[in-house]
A and B are shown apart, each in its own frame.
Chain A
Amino acid sequence: MDAEGARLLAAAFAIGIAAIGPGIGIGLIASGALQAMGRNPEAAGTLTTTMFIGIVFAEALAIFGLVISLLIGFKIF
């Protein structure tokens, strides 16, 4: 494998692996929020916004991966 191929592989793996954790996390957050909404439908409004904020924090990790992937892919470092 030449250096170019290794670079492309690294870029793909960077975002691919980084997406696993946030994926699980977002699933857990959404499931918890949905259960809470099912038990207490009146609080659905606040729960939705709070859920999105929580999702965003989990998603930040995937964004790290995306940034690293882009850095590798575009030979920035």
Chain B
Amino acid sequence: MLKNPKLWIAIIALIAVGVVIKIFFPFTTEAVRASVAVAPEVIFEIGSFPVTPTILTMVLVFILLVGFAFISTRKMEMVPGGMQNLMETIIEQMVGLFESIAGPMWAKFFSITATIFLLVIFSNYLGLIPGAGSIGFIKVSSETHTDIKDGQVCFQDQETHECEPSGIFVLADAPAFIDTYELYYKSQIEKGIEAEQHAAFVPILRAPSSDINMPLALALVSVFMTQVYGMQKQGLKYWTRFFSFGRLLKGDIAFGLIDVFVGLVELISEIFKIVSFTFRLFGNIFAGEVILLIMAFLFALLPLPFYGLEFFVAFIQAFVFAVLTAAFMRIATAEHGGGGHEGEAQH
């Protein structure tokens, strides 16, 4: 392998390309600092609703998903072809997966788990499209800033004193604008004008999963629907899983207290499920974004292997979210009364 000259040529060419990119798009630590934001930046507001890059991408996900659904099922045929075939394959695979996890109840959970899977995988992959997260503009948060015209900030170049409008550009250029802004801001302070310092690079598209609200919404739906299905299956008995005072009221103090304690632990773990669902998806996707950024800052071609890793992670996170939801739903519908034996006798 090492004696293959073509391989060496390829490696040298890749490094050369990397160097050229590094020269023309000099990624700096400032670029990373300008872009990494846990809370998404607001692009514009509709009424009082602040629209963020993640919300925009979510709208795109919605359009893509619904469009795909519409196109693939517009003309259902017995012998599928094209998009219908693709959609049927996806659905069939999911049916097989959820059937193996949720057992005979799979049909009941299918809409929730399948929607979670499709939504998460679409939003993860949209965030991986080159350009998402790196094409955007500079946003200045100060409302009183005099130089904001028509939604664009005007920066004065220190040497030429010409006004540069901040249009749409790539992340690698952002630090220059932000630095100019910071200098401008300092001069304003020196003049005695109060100005709020905050300038950041705002991408147009960003993976919705890297906005904590999206995983949180899915986690809330998942855990809430788990309780609903548990209630549907077992009625009010379901709540004895968390609040089991049965044995304590019967006078069995020792085991009664253990039951109560176990119920409390179950309750806490149920609440922690929301946290774990949320931060698993958010953490993985957000960390992936940051890693890609940092690797791009180190060397232009370094993100490539990590891009492959993120491609895999994007799928695994969608898979895990859906599979775990199905598994928890199965546990909630199959368990008979937490800690107590009343449920088992009933069966």
| Residues B38 and A49 in contact, CB atoms below 8 Å apart | no
Known: A63-B275, A66-B279. Contact between A52 and B323, CB under 8 A?
Answer: yes
Q: How far is the CA of A60 from the CA of B324 in the complex (A)?
A: 12
Q: Kindly supply a per-residue 1/0 record for chain B positions 262-283, scoring 1 wherever the CB is within 8 Å of any chain A CB and 0 otherwise.
A: 0000000000100110011001
| Residues B324 and A53 in contact, CB atoms below 8 Å apart | yes
Q: How far is the CA of A53 from the CA of B280 in the complex (A)?
A: 13
Instruction: Please tell me which one of the listed residues B38, B276, B316 contacts residue A60 in the complex, with CB atoms under 8 A apart.
Output: B276
| Residues B100 and A45 in contact, CB atoms below 8 Å apart | yes
Q: How many residues from A make CB contacts under 8 Å with B? A: 13
- Interfacial residues of chain A within 38-55, with CB under 8 A of chain B in the complex: 45-46, 49, 52-53
Q: In whole Å, how far is A75's beta carbon from the nearest beta carbon of chain B?
A: 12
| Residues B279 and A63 in contact, CB atoms below 8 Å apart | yes
B320 contacts partner chain A, Cβ-Cβ < 8 Å: yes
| Residues A67 and B275 in contact, CB atoms below 8 Å apart | yes
Which chain B residues lie closer than 8 Å to A53 at the CB level?
Answer: 323-324, 327
| Residues B323 and A63 in contact, CB atoms below 8 Å apart | no
Instruction: Please tell me which one of the listed residues A46, A56, A74 contacts residue B38 in the complex, with CB atoms under 8 A apart.
Output: A74
Q: In whole Å, how far is B88's beta carbon from the nearest beta carbon of chain A?
A: 20
Where the two chains meet, the residues of B that have a C-beta atom closer than 8 Å to any C-beta of A are 38, 97, 100-101, 272, 275-276, 279-280, 283, 316, 319-320, 323-324, 327
Known: A63-B275, A74-B38. Contact between A49 and B323, CB under 8 A?
Answer: yes
A72 contacts partner chain B, Cβ-Cβ < 8 Å: no
A34 contacts partner chain B, Cβ-Cβ < 8 Å: no
Which chain B residues lie closer than 8 Å to A12 at the CB level?
Answer: none
Which chain A residues lie closer than 8 Å to B320 at the CB level?
Answer: 52, 56
Q: How far is the CA of A8 from the CA of B165 in the complex (A)?
A: 36
Q: Which of B38, B100, B276, B323 has the most CB of A within 10 A?
A: B276
Q: Which residue of A lies closest to B273 (CB)?
A: A60
Which chain A residues lie closer than 8 Å to B100 at the CB level?
Answer: 45-46, 49
